[in-house]
Amino acid sequence: MYSVRKKYYLCVITIIFFVSCTTQKKYEVLSFFFDGVPNPQTADIDLVADSLSVKDSTTLLAKSNGVAKPGFQIHSPYGKKECVSCHDQKSIGKTIDSQPQLCYKCHTDYKESSRVVHGPVGGGYCSNCHDPHKSQLEKLLKQPAEQLCLHCHDSTTIYTSKFHINSDKNTCIECHNPHGGENRFMPQHGSCYNCHNNYAKIYDFLHGPVAGEYCSACHSAHIENTPNLLLYNDNQICLNCHDKKVIYASEYHKNKESDCITCHNPHGGKNRFFTK
Ligand code: HEC
Ligand code: HEC
Ligand code: HEC
Ligand code: HEC
Ligand code: HEC
Ligand code: HEC
Ligand code: HEC
Ligand code: HEC
Ligand code: HEC
C-alpha cells in the first residue's frame, strides 16, 4: 500500500516536471535552487549587427520576448518594437533622419520652448546624453548627469566655487536645464530657492532682477570665492544697471563714498526702495 502511494507521487512529480519543461519553467525551477541562472524572458536585447534588416531584428527581439534586464528603463517606441519609427526598413544600423529631427518627430522642439538652446541639443547630439533604446538610469541617460556634463565642460573652472558643488550628486541639473532656457546659463526656474530663502516670501517689495530670478546679475555660482559670491565688491554691482548720473543727482545720494547696501537691501524689503 505504502510503496504504491510513493510510486504514485513520483509519477506525478515526473509528469509535472516534463509538462513544465518549457525554458521559462526550467528557469523558475532552477532559480528556486540556484542563484545566478539567467532568465531567458529577461535576457537583454542587444543587437549589435549594423546591417540587420528591421524584419530580422524584430524576429530576434521577439525571441527574447522584448523584455529587457530588470532595472532597465525602456524608451517607449523601442519597447513597442516600433523600430521603423527611427530606423531604415532595409538597414537597422541607419536612422531615417538625423538628430535632432529624428527625436522631434515625437518630442517638442526645444527651440520652441526655450529662448536659448544648449549647444549639443541644437547640434543634435541627443544620443551623446541619452540612449535611444534603454538605460539603467532615469530619463535614459547614458551616465549620471554630472559625469555627462563634465565630458565637455572643464571641471577646473566649474569646481572653483567652494559652496555649490557636491560631486556625489547630480548637482548640475539642480541649477541648469540640460536642454535650454531663458538665458545662456539655462537656469532651472526656482532652483536657488531649493536651498536659500525665497525672497518673494519674505519681502513685500522685490528688487527687479530678484523678482526675475536673475541672481547671476550679481552673484557667481561657480567662479567667485568672494564674500557672498559677489561679482563686484563695490557699488559697481549696482551701477551696472542704475545710471550713475541719475543716482548721484538725488539729495539722499550725495555722498558717493557710501556703500549702496548700507542703506538698501539688495534683494527686497518692506518699502519700494528696500531701505533698511
Ligand atoms: C527613438 C528612435 C529609435 C528607436 C525606436 C529604435 N532605435 Fe535603434 N538606434 C537609434 C539611434 C539614434 C541609434 C544610433 C545610436 C547612437 O548613435 O548612439 C540606434 C542604433 C541602433 C543599432 C546599432 C547598434 C547600436 O546599438 O548602437 C541597432 C542594431 C538598433 N538601433 C536596433 C534597433 C531595434 C531592433 C529597434 C526596435 C526594437 C530600435 N533600434 C529602435 C534610434 C532608435
Ligand atoms: C516614435 C516616437 C518617438 C521618437 C521618434 C522618440 N521618442 Fe523619446 N519618447 C517617446 C515616448 C512615447 C516617450 C514616453 C513619453 C512620456 O512618458 O511622457 C518618450 C520618452 C523619452 C524620454 C524620457 C524617458 C523617461 O524615462 O522619462 C527621453 C529621454 C527620450 N524619449 C529621448 C528621445 C530621444 C533622444 C529621441 C531621438 C533619438 C527620441 N526620444 C525619439 C517617443 C519617441
Ligand atoms: C547635455 C546632455 C543632454 C542632451 C544633449 C540632451 N538631453 Fe535630454 N535630458 C538630459 C538630462 C540630464 C535629462 C534629465 C533632466 C532631469 O532629470 O531633470 C534629460 C531629460 C530629457 C527628457 C525627459 C523629459 C525632461 O525634459 O525631463 C526628454 C524627453 C529628453 N531629455 C529628450 C531629449 C532630446 C529629444 C534631445 C535632443 C534634441 C536631448 N534630450 C538632448 C540631458 C541631455
Ligand atoms: C556634448 C558636449 C556637451 C555636453 C555633454 C554638455 N555641454 Fe553644456 N555646452 C556645450 C556647448 C558646445 C556649449 C556652447 C558653448 C558656447 O556657446 O560657448 C555649452 C554651453 C553650456 C552652458 C552655457 C555656457 C555659456 O557660457 O554660455 C551651460 C550653463 C552648460 N553648457 C551646462 C551644461 C550642463 C549642466 C550639462 C550637463 C547636463 C552640459 N552642459 C553638458 C557642450 C556640452
Ligand atoms: C542686485 C544684485 C543682487 C541680486 C540680483 C541678487 N543678490 Fe543676493 N546678494 C547681493 C548682495 C549685494 C549681497 C550681500 C548682502 C550683504 O552683504 O548685506 C547678497 C547676498 C546674498 C546671500 C547671502 C546673504 C543672505 O542674504 O542670505 C544669498 C544666499 C543670496 N544673496 C542669494 C541670492 C539669490 C538666490 C538671488 C536670486 C533670487 C540673489 N541673491 C540675487 C546682491 C544681489
Ligand atoms: C548652485 C547652482 C549651480 C550648480 C549646482 C551648477 N551651476 Fe553652473 N551655473 C550656475 C549659475 C547661476 C551660472 C551663471 C553664471 C555664474 O553664476 O557664474 C552658471 C554657469 C555655468 C556655466 C557657464 C559659465 C562657466 O562658469 O563656465 C557652465 C558651463 C556651467 N554653469 C556648468 C555647470 C556644470 C557642468 C555643473 C555641474 C558640475 C554646474 N554648472 C552646476 C549655477 C549652478
Ligand atoms: C543644493 C543647495 C543649493 C542650491 C540649489 C543653491 N545654493 Fe547657494 N549655497 C548653498 C550652500 C550650502 C551655501 C554655503 C553657505 C550657506 O550655508 O548659506 C551657499 C552659498 C551661497 C551664497 C553665498 C552666501 C555666503 O554666505 O557667502 C550665495 C550668494 C548663493 N549661495 C547663491 C545661490 C544662487 C544664486 C543659487 C541659484 C543659482 C544658489 N545659491 C543655489 C547651497 C545651495
Ligand atoms: C541687473 C540689473 C540691476 C542691478 C545690478 C541692480 N538693479 Fe536695482 N533695479 C533694477 C530694476 C530692473 C529695477 C526695477 C525698476 C522699476 O521698477 O522701475 C530696480 C529697482 C531698484 C530700486 C527701486 C527703485 C524704484 O524706483 O522703485 C532700488 C532702490 C534699487 N533698484 C537699488 C539697487 C541697488 C542698491 C543695487 C545694488 C545692490 C541694484 N539696485 C542693482 C535693476 C538692477
Ligand atoms: C545713505 C543711504 C543711501 C545710500 C548709501 C544709497 N541710497 Fe539709494 N536711496 C536712499 C533713500 C533714502 C532713497 C529714497 C527713498 C524714498 O524716496 O523714500 C533712495 C532711493 C534710491 C533709488 C530710487 C530713487 C532714485 O533716486 O532713483 C534707487 C534706484 C537707489 N536709491 C539706488 C541706490 C544706489 C545704486 C546706491 C549706491 C550707488 C544707493 N542708492 C545708495 C538711501 C541711500
* Upper half-sphere CA count for residue 209 (Cβ side, 13 Å): 14
CA-CA distance, 152 to 172, in Å (whole number)?
13
Count how many domains the chain has.
1
Residue 48 forms part of a structural domain: no
Overall average pLDDT of the 114-134 stretch: 96
Ligand 5: list residues with CB < 6 Å. 192, 196, 199, 207, 209-210, 213-215, 217-219, 228, 230, 237, 261, 266-267
Query: What local confidence, expressed as pLDDT, does residue 179 receive?
Result: 97
Examine residue 166 and state whether it is found in any structural domain, yes or no: no
Which residues line the pocket of ligand 7, CB cutoff 6 A? 163-164, 174-175, 191-192, 194-196, 215, 219, 221, 227-229
Is residue 184 in a domain?
no
Q: Which atom of ligand 5 is nearest to the CA of 213?
A: 38
Cell of 62: 521577439
Residue-wise pLDDT for 193-238, tens only, equals: 988 999 999 999 999 999 998 998 999 888 767 788 899 889 999 9
Please say if the pLDDT value at position 90 is more than 80.
Answer: yes
Residues 6+ apart with CB under 8 A from 41: 24, 27, 65, 67
Mean pLDDT calculated for residue range 268-275: 96
Read off the pLDDT band of 87 (50, 70, 90). very high
Using a 6 Å cutoff on CB, does residue 249 contact ligand 9?
no
Residue 208: HSE in the Cβ half-sphere, 13 Å Cα cutoff: 5
- Whether 242 maps to a domain, the answer reads yes
Q: Going by C-beta distance under 8 Å and a sequence separation of 6 or more, which residues neighbour residue 13?
A: none
Decide if 60 is inside a domain. no
Domain of residue 217, residue span: 191-269
Q: What percent of the chain has pLDDT over 90?
A: 47
Taking the C-alpha atoms of residue 89 and residue 21, their distance in angstroms, rounded to an integer, is: 37
Residue 140 beta carbon below 6 angstroms from any ligand 3 atom: no
Above pLDDT 70, what percent of the chain?
70
Condensed to tens digits (0 to 9), the pLDDT of residues 14-69 reads 333 333 333 343 333 333 333 333 333 333 444 443 444 555 555 545 444 445 55
Ligand 1 centre to CA of 107 (Å) is: 17
Looking at the domain assignment, is residue 8 inside a domain?
no
Give yes or no for residue 180 CB within 6 A of ligand 3.
no
* Positive or negative torsion for Cα 219, 225, 228, 233: negative
| pLDDT at residue 210 in the model | 96
Nearest ligand to the CA atom of 240: 8
The answer as to whether 119 is a domain residue is: no
Is residue 200 in some structural domain?
yes
C-alpha cell at 202: 519674505
- This prediction has a pTM of 0.85
